[in-house]
Amino acid sequence: MSAVSVSSGGPDPMAQSQLSHRQILVIMSGLMMGIFLASLDQTIVSTALPTIVGDFHRSDLLSWVITSYLLASTASTPLWGKAGDLYGRKRVFQLAIVVFLVGSALCGASQNMYELIAFRGLQGIGGGGLISLVFAIIGDVISPRERGRYQGYFGAVFGISSVIGPLAGGFAVDSLSWRYIFYINLPLGIAALAVTNRVLRLPMRKREVKIDWWGALLLVAGVSSILLATQSGGTDYPWNSIQIVGLFALGGLLLVGFVLRERIAPEPILPLELFRVQIFTVANVVSFVSGIAMFGALAFLPQYLQLVHGVSATMSGLLLLPLLAGLLVMSIGSGQYISRTGNYRWFPLAGTILVTVGLFLLIHLGAHTSLVTVGLDILIFGAGLGLFIQVLTLVVQNAVPMHQMGVATSSVTFFRSMGGAIGTSALGAVLTARLAYELRHFLPTASPANGKNTVTQLIQSPATLDKLKTSNPALHEGIIQAYAHAIDRVFLVALPISILSVIAALFIRQERLRGSNTTSTDTAPRRAEPPRPIEDVRSLPEGGL
């Protein structure tokens, strides 16, 4: 295996002293375009899902529109991180943007639910690279001690996208077509490509490498089997059926095969020696467990607001803004504090506790719960997320050798996304099964909508359901009561899972944050291999662009 070839000239440009605050902001402008692209897509899609499943008349596949994206991004995240380590992050990051745009265009052109799910998977492959590579590049440019100072900028991007996303998505659904929620990514993505090509001055790397395709195949097949089991259990087949048990067993076997493969692969997707680093292991456990509760619980809130409260797609997105406000304020505040003091120990613990409290409050959502109460509940939930999501990435980057920065950073995203995919699929199955149970109790006995297909069609169309307030108040009340009770069960199931993340956060210990990116204090064992120069960032002219 040949050594890495890095095209650079002059002194080491990675030294923190060579990058001024202005130069770092220039680099970050390109990265924030990528983050904006990925985060905008999530906020737009969530508000449009009820309308999409209404057009295709397949509410049973609702969770797969979310799950396919999360599954693809989850499985591809380690590959993107490894590719960035080996080939250089700039061109790999731009490739992720291109894949994301192709998937977006195909999603907008989908003619049925199955096509949309497949193309969302392609979009997810690109999305997996966008977020993980952004934070890996940040790890190259900014030392762990100074990183909190810039954390708020990315929180601001999430905040802005949280405002624009629901507005743009709601406008597209209410005035144009849901297809425009995907087409809007095209001009934004082209702009992101142009900006990153101009401002990201990262070196080209040439190296003979072997991508662990067998490991990737085992990982995708294993996670897919488990997700299919959680999606179909309790709906298509009983949980104790041979089909569901068999899928769980197959998934577990394939994941064991993945671990064994990673032990012998020359270029493992996820180097197992990293798990000997205590902070790395604990942070990923927190990411995985919190991902189950976070993604799984929040995926269905827009549908609750549109169906139960009868608000428009635009309004349902805007009503989720308290969550992003809490996340933004706490993310900026914790980042500034960490930069000043170097202390991060209690943020993951406080954050997971707040998320758990938020889930407990959401258990009490009802058919007539005040929207103010809903807003306060999700504000607490969002504040908890803001306290620990980016801190986990920071502590992992601080704990690993610089040459494994990309794969370590992607691991945090990977485990969070894997938890989210499992949570969305499993809690979606809980919602579907519980809704069928509640409908039998809340629908009027002589209701013309007692037939399963009629009820399903009403739930698929928020506008049609809302019209029942005047045409058939008893039927409308029965349906929204059933749905409110069903979604309460979703949050109840997520609550003990979130408690596990609190317990895991107790084991995150305080370590000194590195003040430079040129050395690593980590002593984790490494594979015997030729020394690798650190991937550096070329010095930008003081004037930026």
pLDDT for the residue 524: 42
CA distance 360 to 358: 5
pLDDT for the residue 520: 42
201: CB partners within 8 A, 6+ apart = 27, 537, 538, 539, 540
Q: Is 527 exposed, middle or buried (0-12, 13-18, 19+ CB in 10 A)?
A: exposed
pLDDT of residue 6 exceeding 50, the answer is: no
pLDDT average, residue stretch 446-450: 46
pLDDT for the residue 332: 78
DSSP 237: B
Q: What is the pLDDT of residues 296-338, one digit of tens each?
A: 667 778 778 878 888 776 677 678 778 878 877 888 788 778 8
Place of tokens 């797609």: 313
Q: Is 247 helix (H, G, I), strand (E, B) or coil?
A: helix
Q: Which two tokens stand for residue 60?
A: 């049973």
pLDDT for the residue 525: 42
pTM above 0.85, yes or no: no
Q: What percent of the chain has pLDDT over 70?
A: 74
Read off the pLDDT band of 75 (50, 70, 90).
confident
pLDDT for the residue 9: 37
- DSSP states of 93-146: HHHHHHHHHHHHHHHHT--SHHHHHHHHHHHHHHHHHHHHHHHHHHHHHS-HHH
Q: Which two tokens stand for residue 278?
A: 């205590």
214: CB partners within 8 A, 6+ apart = 261, 265
pLDDT of residue 515 exceeding 70, the answer is: no
CA distance 258 to 276: 18
pLDDT average, residue stretch 356-369: 88
Place of tokens 């680093």: 277
pLDDT of residue 510 exceeding 90, the answer is: no
Q: What percent of the chain has pLDDT over 90?
A: 4
pLDDT average, residue stretch 232-258: 85
Question: Mean pLDDT over all residues of the chain?
Answer: 74
pLDDT of residue 249 exceeding 90, the answer is: yes
pLDDT for the residue 257: 92
pLDDT average, residue stretch 349-368: 89
pLDDT of residue 64 exceeding 80, the answer is: no
pLDDT of residue 541 exceeding 50, the answer is: no
Q: What is the pLDDT of residues 91-105, one digit of tens each?
A: 788 888 899 999 989
State in Å, rounded, how far the first CA of the chain is from the last one. Answer: 37
CA distance 371 to 352: 24
CA distance 327 to 322: 8
Q: What is the pLDDT of residues 10-43, one digit of tens each?
A: 334 444 445 566 767 777 777 777 778 777 776 6
Query: Lowest-pLDDT range, 33-37, 74-78, 259-263, 350-354?
Result: 74-78
pLDDT for the residue 482: 85
Q: What is the pLDDT of residues 145-176, one digit of tens each?
A: 666 666 666 666 766 666 677 677 777 777 77
- Measured torsion, CA atoms of residues 457, 463, 469, 475, in degrees rounded to the nearest 10: 10
pLDDT for the residue 102: 92
pLDDT average, residue stretch 104-131: 85
pLDDT average, residue stretch 53-69: 72
